[in-house]
Amino acid sequence: MPQPAPTLDVEAVLAQLTLEEKAALTLGSDFWHTAPVERLGVPAIMVADGPHGLRAQMNEADHVGLSGSVPATCFPTASALGSSWNPGLFRRVGDALGAEAAACGVSVVLGPGINMKRSPLCGRNFEYLSEDPYLAGELATAMVQGTQSRGIGTSLKHYAANNQEDDRLRVSAEVDERTLREIYLPAFERVVKQATPWTLMCAYNKVNGTYASEHHWLLTEVLRDGWGFDGLVMSDWGAVHDRVAALEAGLDLEMPPNLEQSAARVVAAVREGRLAESVLDLGVRRVLDLVNRVRPALEAGGEFDEQAHHDLARAAALESAVLLKNDDAALPLRPAAGATVAVLGEFARTPRYQGAGSSQVNPTRVDVIFDELAARLPEGVELTYAAGFGIGTTEGDAELQEAAVEAASAADHVLLYLGLPAAAESEGFDRTHLDLPANQLALLSALHRVGIRPIVVLANGSSVRLSTWEHQAAAILECWLSGQAAGSAAAELVLGLANPSGKLAETLPVRLEDCSSFLNFPGDSGVVRYGEGIFIGYRGYDRARQEVSYPFGFGLSYTTFTVGDLSVRTSGSVADDDLEVQATVTVANTGAVAGAEVVQVYVSDLESSVARPVRELKAFAKVHLEPGESKQVSLVLDARAFAYWSTRHHDWVVEAGDFQVAVGTSSRHLVARERIHLEAPSVAPPLTADSTLQEWVADDRGRQLLSRLDVPILHDPELVRVIGTMPMRTLASFSGLLFDHGTLDRLAADLEG
């Protein structure tokens, strides 16, 4: 039996490396492998795409394309999994990904992706979890923990502000400090602090004019110094423009390697004194540390149970589906013997179950919807089929539509499978609209004209507009791109063999123009301005009081729930950094079938000095209940749940005052609220002669000093309101109005004293 290779003595290896070997170690050796140093026993390790299933390309493959990968379980895409709101499920899927990676000799799975859904047009939204950083961070944390529990690394991506595909390798995302800290960085921060991912992948784009691969503030000051990240930072494939600048910024590994130039430039920079060798050594240490971390799992190898993983993919698909509409309990479908069920839509025969681009998986098997329905329908029920439309083509649409209407007219129940074709959404380009293909909507309208309101089942990775056609459907089941078991999962959900429990992880707008990023997406001339600031997703819709088709957190069930008896208990304090606010509610299943409800806790700052969202998600829990069962759920919030990022303090701050803690089942269905008061140290800047009159009046000491002045104007609220925004120094210049400069100097001296 072979003995396991000894752990590398990193410092001893580092001491023996030549400068050329050091430079080589901070580059890959080919498209998917790090560089080996055989004379010192340093092996190459393999990385592979894998946010939704392993895409391991062995030997020669097209790399940029999608052929040649080994068979692996294709799990639901992130847009689907995010709708499960279930960290436990994420951990199980992460564990399965780790097992498959180990079996294939892969050391690092490149995922999960946790960029925010700033616009529903982003072509890669199917790879991302949510429009909300708290939800994305919690779910991704569980996936990273699951994969790394197998001794396989993950690569959290794409860091940061990578929220479009248009010009993604060059565009500069112009984002203010507060927006970065509150929206685009918190999911990364949460995963780094809670799950300690072994690697992190930088984004392609620039952030405020500097490439993410060369961004010292992002890669070192925030990530390492601020959050304590101790892993390796690798580039996205082709994201490095200046290898020396990237090393100095904190980028440890360039993938794939620019073998013709990068190593030579690093060596030259060290020899010419432009790059400290100690900086290069940091990158080398991190590569060697990663090799040490992954070797035990690779040497152990192993196999995975294809059937068990397929069953897990089905379980994930079941939890990811969101029941958006269900008029007159059209679902679940329970046809009696002798009934006819018409299945319409090419997707029922040619399923779309995964996204395109670097996350495309070679599945171990694929469940076809029509076949899975046929296998589960009661005996004596007839199943018919009509394509109704072509996918990616309009050829023969009139004949296909006519045949579909005829089949539907002869049936007792009609299931219509609609969705986005693969060409509509992918890595590499953004969408231009939110609509389903015209030939699909034409079929739905044709059915409506003859009085048929079908049950619509959707297959799409990114959100689609429903407002123009949802009235024509009796029920809408959003299944997203739900992996290789999509067919069997959809069949079980439609027939009531499983109960939908998914909740929207993103808002579905009435129209594209309602999105807060609409005027600033995707930018032009190499720049995209995040002009909407912190108000993306439900934060923007709620602030603008806009109607939406379906709100963030929404999802129906085949049973009913009540959420109530809210109690909120506060302990500790902001000042002592031990604040704890515990919200406790009772959840009850008041229906006739087992199901799961997601309890969501939102926080509102009722008297903030800065613009804040109407409410923000700060805690959630998915609760499984049998009919008639109830459970008490307690969710704990810390000070961060009440904080905003202060650009004055460059830190998270909590303002003293009243907050509302609300509990419900979506961002717009809050059934219980409680107001709490928090004391906190003052976050106001110190008073100076350049502070405004309002700021002096609002400050206890400033108000006391002003009260000593015998100035009648200060007792006129209307006048104070008019001049209150003027700095004190400016007011002192207005001769005879309030006070002169000498008086102001004395006030300032008294303030300091």
Dig out the tokens for 534 from the structure. Answer: 């912190």
8-state DSSP, 336: P
Tokens 């060290």 sit on residue: 270
Token pair belonging to 7: 């752990």
Residue 332 CA, chain-centre distance (Å), reads 30
What are the tokens at 753?
Answer: 């004293």
Give the residue among 77, 75, 78 at the shortest CA–CA distance from 116: 78
95 among known catalytic residues: no
Distance in angstroms (rounded) separating the CA atoms of residues 94 and 154: 9
For 588, phi and psi rounded to 5 degrees? -130, 140
DSSP 104-149: HT--EEE--B------TT-TTGGG---S-HHHHHHHHHHHHHHHHT
How far apart CA 128 and CA 143 sit, in angstroms, is 13
Cα(462)–Cα(733) distance, rounded to whole angstroms? Answer: 59
Give the side-chain half-sphere CA count within 13 A for 92.
Answer: 18
The residues, any chain, with a CB within 8 Å of residue 399's CB and separated by 6 or more, are none
Question: Is the Cβ–Cβ distance between 335 and 380 less than 8 Å?
Answer: no
Distance CA 461, CA 621 (A): 24
User: What is the Cα–Cα distance from 179 to 531, expressed in whole angstroms?
Assistant: 10
**399-409 b/e (C-beta count within 10 Å ≥ 16 → b):** ebbebbbebbe
CA-CA distance, 487 to 224, in Å (whole number)?
44
Give residues with Cβ within 8 angstroms of 735, minimum separation 6. none
d(CA 541, CA 546): 5
Which listed residue (49, 95, 132, 236) is catalytic? 236
Task: Tell me which H or E stretch contains 604.
Answer: strand 595-605
Q: What is the DSSP string of 218-247?
A: IIIIIIIIIT---SEEE--TT--S-HHHHH
Q: Where are the alpha helices (DSSP H) in 255-305?
A: 262-271, 277-300
DSSP for residue 302: -
Amino acid at 484: Q
Residue 300 gets the label, from left (phi > 0), alpha (psi -120 to 50) or beta, of: alpha
Of the candidates 141, 130, 151, the residue with the CA atom closest to the CA atom of residue 81: 130
Strand partners, 174: 529
Q: Which residues contact 94 (CB under 8 A, 6 or more apart)?
A: 142, 143, 144, 145, 146, 147, 148, 149, 154
Is there a contact between 103 and 303 (Cβ–Cβ < 8 Å)? yes
Q: What are phi and psi of 8, to 5 degrees?
A: -65, 135
Query: Among 691, 734, 689, which Cα is nearest to 713's?
Result: 734
Would you please indicate which residues are annotated as catalytic (active-site) residues? 236
